[in-house]
Amino acid sequence: MSGPASWPALRAARAAERPRDECGVFGVHGHAEAAKIAYLGLYALQHRGQESAGICTSQGGEQYVHRAMGLVSEVFNERNLARLPGRHAIGHVRYSTAGESLLRNAQPICANTDAGPVAIAHNGNLVNAGAVRRELEGRGAIFGTTSDSEVVLHLLARSREGSLEERLIDALSRVKGAFSLVMLTHDALIAARDPNGFRPLTLGRLDGAWVVASETCALDLIGAEPERDLDPGEVVVIRRGRLRSLRPFPGESREAFCVFEYIYFARPDSNLRGGNVYAFRKELGRVLAREHPVEADMVVPLLDSGTAAALGYAEESGIPYETALIRNHFVHRTFIEPAQSIRHFGVKVKHNAVRGILDGKRVVMVDDSIIRGTTLTKIANMMRNAGAREVHVRISAPPTVGPCHYGIDMPTRQELIAHRHAVPEIRELIGADSLGYLSIEALRRTSAVLKHGICDACFSDEYPVPVDPEKAVPQLSLFRSIEDTDDDDEPEVSGSPNGAREGAE
């Protein structure tokens, strides 16, 4: 894989035009090939994070860790997986904001405590992490990462409770925001969700072993049988093959599951809180067609995430569905741009319009969201250059007017096009003949069939957990720091004050 010097270029090439979820977590307890099962689970969760990956296993009171920058297939191989022994494992894939793509922030994060070694992998964002970190630093704590997840580890280490699960509960009671996490001790796998239930976490069984994952698609890949989702505020402790459920946190009056998981982030083949993602997206497209009909010759999905909604729109409207925009699925890493400038090169290297079917046609382009509007503007222009007579844009979600503080890497409020402009102005800016967003009322009516509460703060500006915008924590990090150049291929074994020493076989 490419060396550390290439990461600034990679981040620039992947400038955040679309929102990104920061990570996925996976855990397995009691399987003879725990490391390989975790590897496969992370492979299925790759869409949730592409910057770094890591696995920690437990055997004989020691924890073995391998973490590196890159995709799961680049980080792990037969050699380093063979150096991760044990029947218990947790894993993590991570996406970070620009400037925070550091190996030191790769998870799982490991440490030794007086109660034994622990490793934590976390999905979500803690809105009070900055304040808690400053308090801990004032009391002498030394942080080894810039990730908000490490705050939980420090709180756990300082807790005066007895068992490690009690210490984790004590630590989690002091943080606010979103967490779906897995923790590995010398003999137990512990999983927990925040009381609002912002992020997904599901349980399954595999050949007598327990598994936990961010999405059910990870269970499908390894052949595990889904058991159930963890409830908001639930902590599950799995030890010696037995599962114990705890509900230590005060219950919230209303669950606030991130609706963007359904709209964009989760894989279409996953089930979230009992609802299938693909079916939900398709229904949004049907509702969108009823709210914003238009006379056209074809419906075209924009990017992969618009496919299900576009199919729903086509079926409801009776307009034929066409794949008139082709995506290059092999653009995973930074590419070399020719010295002679090519107009809109970054968009065209990933997408190309099919001239043969667009010439003279009226096109409805369907996507799930408009964040900054830059890419959509270039693609609308691309469709016209390929011969489209009219370009109508339909969005299967309401306008994105606010940032997420609960674990989605999203631009600041001022960078969101829908915060700065009304719909008619956005239509003109992106160069569309018409523009229609799904109304928030329609989104809430459609979401009601899921039978649990949702968080739609990025559309409604109604935040379930209050956040001070002046003290908002940057997604996935607390502070900017220098580039980390560690590119070691060796696993680590827990043992030093920060939880890892290198060179262990």
pLDDT at position 494 is 44
pLDDT at position 331 is 57
Reduced to 3 states (helix: H, G, I; strand: E, B; else coil), residue 242 is: strand
Residue 250 banded pLDDT, cuts 50, 70, 90: confident
Give the CA distances from residue 32 to residues 43, 153, 233, 265, 314, in Å, rounded to whole numbers and listed in that order: 19, 28, 30, 32, 48
| Cβ 395 vs Cβ 438: under 8 Å | yes
Q: Give the count of beta carbons closer than 10 Å to the beta carbon of residue 4.
A: 15
* Catalytically active residues, by annotation: 23
Burial pattern 28-43, b for ≥16 Cβ within 10 A else e, equals: bbbbeebbbbbbbbbb
What is the C-alpha separation between 121 and 153, in angstroms, rounded?
10
Tell which residue, 84, 86, 104, has the closest CA to residue 96: 104
Is the pTM above the cut of 0.95? no
What is the C-alpha separation between 391 and 403, in angstroms, rounded?
28
Instruction: Examine residue 398 and say whether the peptide bond preceding it is cis (omega within 30 degrees of 0).
Output: no
What is the C-alpha separation between 491 and 62, in angstroms, rounded?
13
Instruction: Find the helix or strand (DSSP H, E) in which 374 lies.
Output: helix 374-385
Per residue in 100-128, pLDDT (tens digit) is 567 888 899 999 888 889 999 999 999 99
What is the C-alpha separation between 200 and 194, in angstroms, rounded?
10
List Cβ neighbours of 380 (8 Å cut-off, separation of 6 or more).
Answer: 365, 391, 393, 430, 431, 432
Mean pLDDT across 164-179 = 95
Average pLDDT over the chain reads 85
**Domain 20-256+479-502 bears CATH identifier 3.60.20.10:** yes
| Cβ 79 vs Cβ 205: under 8 Å | no
Question: What six digits make up the tokens of 384?
Answer: 């016209």
* CATH architecture observed for domain 271-327+346-460: 3-Layer(aba) Sandwich (3.40)
pLDDT at position 343 is 53
Q: Give the count of beta carbons closer than 10 Å to the beta carbon of residue 162.
A: 9
pLDDT at position 407 is 83
Residue type, 454: I
Tell which residue, 144, 123, 117, has the closest CA to residue 201: 123
Per residue in 389-418, pLDDT (tens digit) is 999 999 999 999 999 888 887 778 888 999
| Cβ 27 vs Cβ 122: under 8 Å | no
| Cβ 9 vs Cβ 334: under 8 Å | yes
| Strand locations in 4-159 (E) | 20-21, 23-29, 52-59, 62-69, 88-94, 109-113, 116-123
> How far is C-alpha 234 from the chain's CA centre?
21
Mean pLDDT across 332-341 = 51
Q: Which residues pair with 238 in a beta bridge?
A: 189, 243
- What is the chain's alpha carbon radius of gyration, rounded to the nearest angstrom? 23
Per residue in 427-485, pLDDT (tens digit) is 999 999 999 999 999 999 999 988 889 999 999 999 999 886 555 544 433 333 322 33
Give the CA distances from residue 452 to residues 122, 256, 416, in Å, rounded to whole numbers and listed in that order: 23, 8, 28
Percent of the chain with pLDDT over 90: 67
Enumerate the domain spans of the chain. Answer: 20-256+479-502, 271-327+346-460
Burial pattern 56-81, b for ≥16 Cβ within 10 A else e, equals: bbbbeeebbbbbbbbbbeebbeeebb
